[in-house]
Structure 1
């Protein structure tokens, strides 16, 4: 243990303070027009009250309800039967429909039931892991294989970068791209992985991406499981793996396969190795962690910085424990050298990285200073920081359904926060505190600050939406520590209700959230779609071939980004008048603009605005049409 109690219960004090802060934060929604201001204070209050309730009870005589052995033996068959149905339905419809997503959530519930409500002698960790990996594979690969092209925005640029490196046989091909993409010249591991897979497997770049990084993302839950096993037994380690595997952010970066996804894999492996070093330092673990840390800046800048924040948290906890604040410390393994190596490697790589006419470190430092000087104050962010595009969509939406969808999108995250706070309070007890667990607590606070707090000051250059997948890892481990404590210390009825909420609500809401369904969102009029049909992809290339390069076209976002990032043609986000007409003279219309959630400029702001064929092509000649995409020009 890293610390022992000094005669007072810091965990109970923290729970009381947290509950008070949550109550004081309830009026925050008046000041901040931000959905998280509505849901996070109640989550904080609930977690603190549950913990205080558990600490006031002695260990209950009655345990949690368990399922009969015969039922547990049938559940794996039900899981694989349901997964087969998911595959069949996805193939039949050509995309993941709402019933498919709900069925996938039902499979997640069946897996969690086996984990949380099986008797110890009936729990089979290997069998559960196989089911969990099968669910992860079906959810991810079903989306990837039924989407034309790729899913996302930045990924189109990365596919083109990888293709250019493949064709030219040198990284110098990256320097021919716009200055913003040139930063990957010194962070090429993602592109080299895809190119190498393409060459060895003799497959196209897109298929190589899915065979390499796409498959690797399926096995990420195994890393979470092995990390959690360092803290707790198999049952709750399985729960941590399940919570992470079916979380919206884990699914998101398994669909949008960009360098951030690969850096997430590196971060999780580094997390596991660092915990091992904290608990029992061995030369092998130090060498492996050094390799991971050295590779991170060569993958992606955000992932490297997140790793830096986690290592800095580890060193900060180490210094506090060494000073006997707030616990008396036992022997610890020093993490300072690892942090210094990470800092040096990151600084060196960033100082030679070309970026927007300068070097990445200098340009970003100047931008950060400028953002701080130009910030007008607190609470400048008006919507969800997890997705700028979704924020724009929410800005133009109203009504009961829009509100319901917005709460569905964040409910899974709220559950993660709630159980994460519960686990954080649990490890704050001096008898349970350790260097590793306290590092998880501090790093969660630090990453949450970058993801949620700093954007409120108008500083979004840290790409806050990409932090959540990293944040979920320590939160999942802390969360199962909290749930385990609740299951053994709270009243059995209270614990059972809490676990049932996790079992039923978490999979259903996470797998239908907008971030987990970027290929084909179930609420198509309220959630942005970043996957494209065959007709839409064909339209991009055909329009680029028949329109003069000097003449831009206007269309919705995010469709316009595909034109630009594939270098097919210059496309601009169109403006829509009050009567629903597109104002520009060369318009690309697609069916999604009629019944989806396209983003247009209206009255100087970006908002969801549906435009029918008449609004786009009235009084214009049709130059090209393929049944879904139409190019209209003024005569």
Structure 2
């Protein structure tokens, strides 16, 4: 990188001005393509740039608070934790609002521990304990395994534990026969501990996907800044929505995030120390990804390559070690492409990259044609970013805002190592944002952008942590040291951490068992009630060959867990009324008549999945089963379609 470019970037005001311009451009784009992300993130980038300048040359260090003694603080935390457990149990293991509120209180106390407790081990312990408890309450707030994909993966794991072979994956003709690490790991824990696959997945996946990335963030920030900074970074990661979701909804991507964190950590440490053990960890992690999840490997390859490229550009050199790591990444991708096949609907098997390339080309071809779009309606919202609201993006926006302040704080330290890491991680975040936001903006979603979010949080929180600390130290130092000085620091932590953790833990991905912020159609729950599980079990046992229909979630649940073919509610746009050709069985649960239910509408020959209350059904249909919560009705039911 040229000297002039380096000098420009190393000037904090120039860096803040550059971000300000990017944010301003984003706000202009939002006027043409308005959605929760374009309306929120660019504006908070602008706010971050302004705050970065306002912070000035303050050193990002945390003051020590003497408001509470460590002993009293520990007592307050344990009382809050006990109250949360009590509220959860008394509510019948359902997360009511008091449970949500007390959980936010635990996160605030975990943040305040950095100001109160002298031991960083205790601080980190409280952060991890809070995160694990939070994830556990989400995980077990559902009558059955949370989610849809997790149902399938853990059913296979249970069958593998029972048979002692991979035959269940072979019988399912799934690509995971080639990449069975998640299923073998969960099955092994199931057999070794004598527990259910659901419990084994929590111990072996939920806990690990919390601990490993959080410890990676802690160690990298601890080395670059201080152990306290590492704790703050871990707190931001643990309290973030997508990492919470991946721990509560245990899928192969969860294991992918664990291995991603290991590989990224190994890359950074290998370049800094040149120790062969880190290169070995890099290879082992990649081998695990080849045997786990294709998209996770692709995301990891993009991230690590971006890190190596940006670091090399900043340093103006490309070492042999970096070329070696890129070559290993390429070999891993080639190996997975050759080994892991995705059975297609035509009966042929294709590699992951072939499938993705085909989807991308299809997206370009469709983009060249004038495609009709389902008309908007007050009764439904098409799935995607438009199905959410700004509230569900604000937490991520705050993280970006803190990251901008943090990057400038990294640069102000005038440390070559610090600036190098900041530029490399900043470049990584920019590249991931290209796949998450820019490609979907032009209509390309073949690379599943929503799967990239959790991976982006790892480098993002490492940039955001110094930003939070810089804000705290700036406000706290407005007065001389003393009780008021410490109180100001405490207030800033509370004012930032409380809304951040609430926005993250109460939104759609952060509260998978039932979002507190359920204002948007897309803020649906992926948990089940006892009545819903009983009705589905009855359907699987006694429906026979009768066609079965339900809302989108229940339809998939029947197929993934009970292996009972079913279909989602489907209506033809503009037809009054729409009917099925033959009598069918309908799973009618109360949630299907809320705006969060999913069903399908056919418009101009194309099927759209939408969120909205299921249209009313024929009242003359016979009720053949009810458990007080869910009904099964039978008949040639009529669904009133939408105009």
- Listed as ranges, the matches of 1:265-304 within 5 Å are 265-304=258-297
Pair 20,345 (structure 1): closer, same or farther in 2 beyond 3 Å: closer
Structure 1 position 561, deviation (Å): 0.9
Q: Find out whether 1:183 has 2:175 as its counterpart.
A: yes
Secondary structure at the aligned position of 1:515 is classed as coil
Checking the alignment, whether the CA contact within 8 Å between 2:209 and 2:257 is kept in structure 1 is no
Could you tell me how far apart the structure 1 residues matched to 2:139 and 2:364 are?
39
TM superposition shift of 1:332: 6.7
Offset at 1:413? 0.5
1:529 correspondence with 2:528: no
Q: Which residue of 2 aligns with 1:400?
A: none
Q: What CA deviation, in whole Å up to 9, does each residue of 1:233-254 have, x standing for no partner?
A: 0111110011111111111011
Please point out which of 136, 146, 149 is paired with 2:144. Answer: 149
Matches within 5 A, 1:227-242: 227-242=220-235
Flag the 1:44–1:379 CA change in 2: closer, same or farther, 3 A. farther
Written as runs of structure 1 = structure 2, the 5 A alignment for 1:243-322 is 243-322=236-315
1:591 aligns with 2:590: yes
> Shift of the alpha carbon at 1:339?
1.9
1:74 and 2:90 aligned: no
**Residue in 2 that maps onto 1:543:** 539
The 2-side partners of 1:542 and 1:593 are apart by: 18
1:190-589 alignment runs, 5 A limit: 190-220=182-212, 221-323=214-316, 334-355=321-342, 356=344, 357-360=348-351, 361-376=353-368, 392=383, 406-428=389-411, 431-434=414-417, 435-487=420-472, 492-493=477-478, 499-523=493-517, 526=520, 527-549=523-545, 551-575=546-570, 583-584=579-580, 585-589=584-588
Does the aligned pair in 2 maintain the 1:48–1:422 contact within 8 Å?
Answer: yes
Q: 1:377 to 1:3 in 2, by over 3 A?
A: farther
Q: RMSD over aligned Cα, in angstroms?
A: 3.3
Say which of 83, 89, 92 aligns to 2:90. 92
- Which consecutive residues of structure 1, in runs of 5 or more, have no partner in the other structure? 325-330, 383-388, 397-404
Rate the CA distance shift 1:379–1:22 in 2: closer, same or farther, 3 A: farther
Q: Decide which moves more: 72-81 or 30-39.
A: 72-81
- CA distances 1:487-532 after superposition (whole Å, capped 9, x unpaired): 5568845996865542221112111111111112224574201011
Structure 2 counterparts to residues 11-160 of structure 1, below 5 A: 11-55=12-56, 57=57, 67-93=65-91, 94-115=93-114, 117-118=115-116, 122-160=117-155
Q: Which has the higher contact order (CA 8 A, sep 6+)?
A: 1
CA contact (8 A) 2:39 2:390 kept: no
Q: In structure 2, what is the equivalent of residue 165 of structure 1?
A: 160
Note if contact 1:140-1:254 (Cα within 8 Å) is conserved in structure 2.
yes
Pick closer, same or farther for the CA change 1:248–1:395 going to 2, 3 Å: closer
Separation of aligned partners in 2, 1:597 and 1:580: 23
Structure 1 residue 579 displacement after superposition: 12
- Whole-Å separation in 2 of the counterparts to 1:14 and 1:472: 21
State the Cα deviation string for residues 22-62 of structure 1 (Å, max 9, x = none): 2233232221121111111211111112222334x5779xx
CA deviation after TM superposition for structure 1 residue 83, in Å: 1.3
Q: Is the 8 A contact 1:159 1:205 kept in 2?
A: yes
TM-score, normalising length: structure 1:
0.86
2:377 alignment partner in structure 1: none
Q: Is the 8 A contact 2:190 2:196 kept in 1?
A: yes
Kept in 1: contact 2:507–2:517 (CA 8 A):
no
Contact 1:511 1:517 in 2 (8 A): yes
Give the conservation status (yes or no) of the 8 Å contact 2:63–2:473.
no
Inter-CA distance 580–475: structure 2 relative to 1 (3 Å threshold): farther
Task: Report the CA distance shift for 1:424/1:533 in structure 2 as closer, same or farther (over 3 A).
Answer: same
Change beyond 3 A, Cα 1:378–1:66: farther
Distance 1:445 1:572 in 2: 40
Q: Which moved more, 1:361-370 or 1:463-472?
A: 361-370
Partner deviation per Cα, 1:376-419 (whole Å, 9 max, x = no partner): 4999999xxxxxx99628867xxxxxxxx823321111111111
Structure 2: 5+ residue stretches without partners: 375-379, 480-487, 637-643
User: CA offsets per residue over residues 563-612 of structure 1, 9 Å max, x none?
Assistant: 12124322222146999999554311012224562123357444333359
Cα distance, 1:596–1:625 mapped onto 2, change above 3 Å: farther
Tell me the residue number matched to 2:612.
609
Alpha-carbon distance in structure 2 between the residues aligned to 1:74 and 1:517: 31
Aligned to 1:631: 632
Compare 247-256 and 353-362 and name the one that shifted more.
353-362
